[in-house]
Amino acid sequence: MRIGRSALAGCAGARADSTTAAADDVHYERFYPYYAELCALSEIRKKPGFGVQFRSGMGGHSLLYLSGVRLDRQAGYPTLKLCDPAASPARHGVGISVNSHYKNANWVAAEGRDFVWRGALGPGDRLTRETYTRTQDRAKAIGVLEGVQFHDHLFRDKPRGMSERDYMYEISVATDYAVRFGRDIYRTRVPLDRPRMALIVDFLNDLNTPYRKGVRVFRWNILNNNCSHVAHNALAVANIWAPWPTGQFFALAAFKFPVPKNEFVDLALRTNDLPIDDVDAIYGDEVAKRALAETDTLPTAPGALATIAPAIPDNEVYDIDRLRLIFYDNPFWGPYRPRLFRIFDEPRYIDLRANLAHFAGIYERVQQRRCNRRMLTAARHDRRRSVEREHFDVLYDRYIERAAATVRRQLLSLDEPARVATETVS
């Protein structure tokens, strides 16, 4: 199931190149220089007659973009490092991709937000064969596949006269980099901070270690080790949600496994819809409780926004008509299609100002009820409450107070750009 291209064009979240969206990005990156963006990519169909023929299934692909992270180009192998905080973290980022092609790596990374999405293509430019070739040259210069080996069987279809290295980059374009060349993209962006981004960087580097050392050979598996597993579990180490097990028994894994479009929707709702005004509900959510205790955050917080970016429309390399991206769901009464339309029908999921105003209202209600809650707790539950719960409530109240103050400053800064240029918004 999918939103059609006409719906994409009219959706407020799909204003990828509009002035409003660009202005929102400026504010967003000032508020949240470190963020993760989980991206569900549609199928891809290359037009015949140019380069290697390539097409994918309608389940699509998943990519994880990390702002404030760079490639360690001295490593000679896909290795991440945090950006220097003095170097404007939001100006740097990497796109993490998992592909069944790799033999000695679980993931690879392309560096640079524009390059991840558009390769060497400028805004509004036509995707020509020349730009397609120039993008591959750029990918080689960046070293997207440096140190990476592909499984031997993939080279059976390599055209005669083409080098193995050129072939590797040829079948990786629009999947591991320049992904909008031939794919529609659904993205959920989640604000993080430097400590949580460091956890993700360490997790991903550790994930590649046994393959880098030759201890293991990477085997992509749709049920137990696909592209969505890696993106999901990277966010899990930042206490966004619970990790997704890998290596499960086949029959159990087949019943439920992560797929790109489901994950896009699940993340948008997880980061926007937890009942954070209900302290008992948050205490009962183990991940949320751990997030508050360990990182002074909650999974649902301001700044988690969904967007859609269609494939490059003026395109002589890829067929972009009716690109499919299915849900793993019952096609008749499954919940995911209504959830998707809900996300793009409600401004708080897709518009920065509406999102901040929504959370400001929640925090205000929590603070208004706080005195009543404390009185009720003292009167009815004091003897039965654990020390752990008492500590949690203190953390919760302090978090709400800080979050409310921050979102108020952010809303003010949207209306006072001249003043905000001279102050730091925490």
Domain parsing of the chain, residue ranges: 5-350, 360-420
CA distance 139 to 142: 5
Question: Over the stretch 170-204, which tens digit does the pLDDT of each residue have?
Answer: 999 999 999 999 999 999 999 999 999 999 999 99
Would you tell me the crossing angle of helices 336-345 and 260-273 to the nearest 10 degrees? 50
- With CA atoms as reference, report the closest residue to 300 among 323, 284, 277, 329: 277
Q: Phi-psi category of 321—alpha, beta or left, where left has phi over 0 and alpha has psi -120 to 50? A: beta
Three-state secondary structure of 292-354: HHHHCCCCCCCCCEEEEECCCCCECCECCCCCCCCCCCCCCCCCHHHHHHHHHHCHHHCCHHH
Q: Which residues contact 353 (CB under 8 A, 6 or more apart)?
A: 411, 414
- With CA atoms as reference, report the closest residue to 123 among 51, 22, 224, 191: 22
Which residue's structure tokens are 């959370």?
A: 359
Tell me the β-bridge partners of 9: none
Per-residue pLDDT of the chain (426 residues; tens, 9 = 90+): 345 444 444 444 444 434 445 557 889 999 999 999 999 999 999 999 888 888 898 899 999 999 999 999 999 999 999 999 888 899 999 999 999 999 999 999 999 999 999 999 998 899 999 999 999 999 999 999 999 999 999 999 999 999 999 999 999 999 999 999 999 999 999 999 999 999 999 999 999 999 999 999 999 988 888 999 999 999 999 999 999 988 877 767 677 788 999 999 999 999 999 999 999 999 999 999 999 999 999 999 999 999 999 999 999 999 999 999 999 888 888 999 999 999 999 999 999 999 999 999 999 999 988 766 555 555 455 555 789 899 999 999 999 999 999 999 999 999 875 444 444 444
CA dihedral 351, 352, 353, 354 (to 10 degrees): 50
Beta strands 35-41 and 80-82: pairing type?
Answer: unpaired
